[in-house]
Structure formats: C-alpha cells, structure tokens
C-alpha cells in the first residue's frame, strides 16, 4: 500500500512538471514581442560630384600645300629653327593678312618702311619682279654669320636683326606677303611674327 502511494505521488509530481513546462513554453510562444522603435532616417548631406577637368585639345592647323607661297616662307624658317633646337613656327592667316595689308601700303614706292604694328617684322626689297620668298628668307638667314651669341650683338657693321627675329624662341606664329610694286619699283616682301622678338638686352634663345 505504501508502494502504491509513493507511485501515485511520483506520477502526480511528474505530471506537475510537464504542466509547468507546457505553461512556460506556451507562455513564451504567445508572449507579445516588444515593439521595435524604428531608427529615424537621417539623409546624408548631398555632396556634388566634382566637375571633370576640361581636356585641352590644341586647335587643328590646316596643312599647307607643298610648294605654296606659305610653305616657301615657313619651311626655311623652321629649317633654321630646327638646327638650333627651337620649336617650329606655324602659319597664321591673321598675320598673313596683316602682312598683305602693309605690302599694299607700300605698293607705290616699295619703301623699306616698317608698319610699327604689334608684331615683329622683317622686310625685304629687290629690284625687278622675280624675287621669290626663298630669296628674302635666305638673305635673313645669312645674317646669322654676323651674330655673336656671347655678346648678343652683330659683329662689325653687319646686320643681324632679321636673323634674331627668325630664331626668337618665344615667337610661335608667322605670316608673310610678297608684292610687285607699281611702276617697276621692285618687289616688296614682309614677314610678321607673333609674339614679337628682338627685345633690347635679351638673347633670342
């Protein structure tokens, strides 16, 4: 009888544990979850993207036809500058038009008078009517034999200012014109340079 009573107590105790465990699980399963407070959205300040840097593209320079008047002036200039390691000049139509305008002013007298404009300027005159651009440029090139770089002066009584303008390092553009003057006065040739050279006290390169 005692054994039966003990068994009954054990059964009751076991059932009690199962009931408590069920209640705990049951309560946890149905327990409402605590409300979740959403984190307020704070937008980041707008930072504009940096503008892309502009890409420099040098202007397209139209090629000059071989043997053209422009080439007859430009090529010997650049041949001389190349021998001295100087950058080449480019033909500039604005300078060429300026040179043509000034040559027309000298049509009646062919006088070797400078235009006193904003550009460097070399002038040439030859009698007759058959002087080609190359003759004028060559007459300026040979002045280099009288130029003394160490003293930055012309040796003796020779001229060298035409030569120093041709080889002035900072000059970049060239424009020239040739004109047969009226009444058989000869041929007038002028070349203009931009930026100009032959600044007093400065060497050309």
At 165, give phi and psi (nearest 5°). -65, -40
CB 79 within 8 A of CB 160: no
The answer to whether position 150 is within a domain reads yes
The pLDDT of residue 107: 97
**Burial of 114 (C-beta count, 10 Å sphere; 0-12/13-18/19+):** exposed
Q: CATH no. for residue 113?
A: 3.40.33.10
The answer to whether position 200 is within a domain reads no
The answer to whether position 184 is within a domain reads yes
Domain housing 76: 69-192
Q: Domain total for the chain?
A: 1
Model confidence at 40: pLDDT above 70: yes
**Burial of 191 (C-beta count, 10 Å sphere; 0-12/13-18/19+):** buried
The answer to whether position 146 is within a domain reads yes
pLDDT in tens, 53-72: 666 454 445 577 877 999 99
**Structure confidence at residue 127 as a pLDDT band (50, 70, 90):** very high
The pLDDT of residue 7: 66
The pLDDT of residue 26: 41
The answer to whether position 121 is within a domain reads yes
The answer to whether position 40 is within a domain reads no
pLDDT in tens, 134-158: 999 999 999 999 999 999 999 987 8
The answer to whether position 30 is within a domain reads no
Contacts with 93 (C-beta within 8 Å, 6 or more apart), sequence order: 175
The answer to whether position 141 is within a domain reads yes
């Amino acid at each position: 009888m005692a054994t039966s009573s003990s068994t009954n107590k054990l059964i009751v105790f076991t059932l009690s544990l199962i009931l408590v465990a069920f209640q705990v699980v049951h309560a946890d399963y149905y327990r409402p979850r605590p409300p979740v407070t959403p984190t307020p959205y704070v937008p980041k300040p707008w930072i504009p993207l940096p503008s892309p840097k502009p890409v420099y593209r040098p202007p397209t320079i139209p090629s000059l036809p071989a043997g053209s008047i422009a080439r007859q002036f430009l090529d010997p200039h650049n041949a001389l500058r190349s021998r001295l390691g100087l950058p080449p000049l480019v033909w500039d139509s604005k300078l060429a038009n300026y040179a043509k305008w000034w040559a027309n002013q000298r049509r009646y007298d062919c006088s070797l008078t400078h235009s006193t404009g904003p550009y460097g300027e070399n002038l040439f005159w030859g009698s007759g009517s058959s002087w080609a651009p190359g003759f004028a440029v060559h007459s300026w090139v040979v002045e280099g034999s009288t130029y003394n770089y160490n003293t930055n002066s012309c040796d003796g009584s020779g001229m060298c200012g035409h030569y120093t303008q041709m080889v002035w390092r900072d000059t970049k553009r060239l424009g020239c014109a040739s004109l047969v003057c009226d009444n058989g006065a000869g041929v007038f040739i002028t070349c203009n340079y931009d930026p100009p050279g032959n600044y007093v006290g400065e060497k050309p390169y």
